[in-house]
Copies of this chain bind each other. A is one copy, B any other.
Amino acid sequence: MSVAVSGQTSSIKEYIHDVTQRAADARAEIAAASTEVKNQALTNIADEILASREELKRKNMLDLQAGKERGLASAMIDRLKLTDARIEAMAEGLVQVSKLPDPVGEMSEMNIRPTGIKVGKMRVPIGVILIIYESRPNVTADAAALCIKSGNVTILRGGSEAIHSNQAIANCIHNGLQKVGIAKDVVQVIATADRQAVTELLHADEIINIVIPRGGKGLVEKITQESHIPLIKHLDGVCHVYIHEDAGVDMATEIAVNAKAQRFGVCNAMETLLIDEKIANQILPELEKRFKEKQVELRGCAKTQKILTNIKSASEGDWYEEYLGPVLAIKIVDDFADAIQHIEKYGSHHTDAIVTNNELIAQRFLREVDSSSVMVNASTRFADGFEYGLGAEIGISTDKLHARGPVGLEGLTTQKFIVLGDGNIRE
């Protein structure tokens, strides 16, 4: 593979042209690979990663040093770091993916039509997937694993700050693939930090079928604007818990505290709590006490402030906010309709939950809230590929089309129609 020289647009163009051509050429091979071969490749890669532990840490050190010299924030440096535990977790992740059922080739919905043809669907790989991500080198192994298992070719473009680590992981992936006779071009890790490479990739719409950006909102919006290739993307997680008037107070309290405080800084944490006016007096004082223990700052609407007189007021901006930290906005709503309207207006269609013992209200909430995950009497923190039983996830989609919510192996495939006849012709 040619290595591009940063800053030279023409050579970057050639380099990316070469990468995408190799990807196109590798597509048929991995799409047709058997489950056994793909699983063997995954466990091979896991073995390579464990065997290359020292090499991975040495290359990672280059990134860490460069990062410190460039003054990267300590949180970023932490994400970048490959420890023994993280290296083992990468290998373990690969082994886990090897154990998941293979979605490719699965046939469903077969039925016989009046003309005698049998019509159904077959699940097949999407083709060539571009994944653009930041800092964490483990994404290189995780994303490669999911794409190999789902029969796709991947082009991986990690953050420039992790380039040495990512190239070292790429070597492990290539060795693992080649040991079962699969072309290493099935997984290509971009070998330049030049931003021009991303631009070139985003315009390769003849070859790349889908782009998955994994990173902050800025990255996602930039890619959306720059490319006409379909995206599986994740934007905000402004998640709500709505405590309905028919909620049990204890259950509502436990779910609200868990949804906000089990872990901060995750997209499925609650950011705004909606409480029905009829139950607010009864529940708010206990909630205040519990959130105080968790050191969560509360910001309330005017009605909330009448009950919890010591808390700050929530501004209009708070209802849109994804705090990703120990802050919670609280609003007292008039009724079910008011709650639904708030979620529709301010929410981000990620994950929203209701706490209620009223079955009809629960059914209406499930149907009417237009979010990727809608929950009844459960914490929003369950919105996660592992918790849902997908085995692993490439991300959580806040898009409506193709894949919505946690995206696992199935989201990396598509279905085509298949027709079986015995000489049928159309009259």
Binding site for B on A (CB under 8 A): 28, 31-32, 105, 111, 113, 115, 117, 119, 122, 124, 126-127, 209-210, 224-225, 228, 230, 248, 250-251, 254-255, 257-259, 262, 340, 344, 353, 362, 366-368, 370-379, 381-383, 387-389, 399-402, 404-406, 414-426
Contact = CB atoms under 8 A, between A and B. Distances in A.
Contact of A379 (B28, B209, B426): B426
A225 B229 CA distance: 11
B228 A383 contact: no
A372 B416 contact: yes
Contact of A387 (B32, B117, B258, B353): B117
Contacts of A389: 111, 113, 119
Contacts of A399: 230
Given A119-B388, A420-B377, A258 B383 contact: no
Contacts of A382: 115, 117, 419, 421, 424, 426
Enumerate the 8 nearest inter-chain pairs by beta-carbon distance, A residue then B residue, closest first: A378-B421, A258-B425, A251-B423, A381-B426, A375-B419, A402-B402, A401-B402, A405-B417
B419 A376 contact: yes
Contacts of A119: 387-389
B404 A416 contact: yes
Given A31-B370, A375-B418, A375-B419, 9 more contacts: A28-B340, A31-B368, A113-B388, A248-B423, A378-B421, A378-B423, A382-B421, A382-B424, A383-B417
B255 A423 contact: yes
Contacts of A209: 400-401
Find the residue from A32, A254, A421 having the highest chain B CB count within 10 A.
A421
A367 B209 CA distance: 18
